[in-house]
Structure 1
């Protein structure tokens, strides 16, 4: 069995895969205690593992994972991939973005895909029909935008994100929430429209911690098919682990 660890900016996701594309179980930790992680996976006979982090390298966690698996892979920019990376500075490309693109390609081989990862930041990534990563963009995430309005102004309050917001704000709090959420949705819709204008058959996949919030709104606004897969990065990491035959 494969053990997959995805350490993000705000959470750590741990998944166990057998032979299927879908994980057997997924665990999410906000502030992971190594012992807690190890206890959660103790019932699974894992033999291979992959560790990916866009945050600070968690040496304690990685060390414990190495002890219980005979084969360990840390996803870095030197790890062989089933796709080609066309990027001027591949060493700066987030490993989570790489994993998401790999998963999209694995799910749709020979097809163009556009991946939206809505988390701390919102990333937009493209993989063409030849399995070549063609770059992408990075934008502030929902919570980051809400925090920025509070942090960089004197009087604007910090507002919690919510799917319930008016078309036009009726007080300062609702004006902030509506402005941020409407801005995000319009931004995402614009990217999708541009992508589909170039290729109507492009697969559009949205993932990340805020994927459901955005996806539900997009379903009511868009007539084109959009897929939501909150486990896309974990699946991509598992694909990379299997590709490296360890």
Structure 2
């Protein structure tokens, strides 16, 4: 076996192997830090970019899985985003694509919690890098490219250079951010709609597509995000 083969085998073992979870107090500390960041205006404005990446990534993934053609993803400095796909302007594929955005961050957080509960900390970090790399070619604006590159670089640097404890703390904090941060955008959407400031939101688009009340879709977004938070928290603190 050559040195290159040995290096690849070591890398594969590192990614697919299991790592020790941090102590209970560190898990609690990462949860508290994520909660504080989500509730605080300045940290949330910065970290909301990561939630927006997950939101738009959810739209993009489901668009592809439902047979639509993914055209572009844009991420903006005000933490909003836009995913454009081509296909039928109605039907199940369009409905699923529209519904995927607000549910994606929490569901990704739940998947991440499952990986962490199984001890796959490195796999979570490299999985995030892979998803960001797949997303990057479809980004169509400079701020979006910068956001994805900076987020991917953070995951890579932590996974490659940090020690095991730092990796674990970073991974748990990232998952808590998705789980907790997945709820706040739904609440923000509810407030905007109450003041008539989001006439073309995902919920309103779904209402037009399905001829059902937008409030019903908002309720679904709440159910998924809160359910994922409860399930993810149970996995992380078990």
TM class, shorter-length: under 0.3
Structure number having the greater helix percentage: 2
Compute the TM-score of the two structures, normalised by the length of structure 2. Answer: 0.25
Compute the TM-score of the two structures, normalised by the length of structure 1. Answer: 0.25
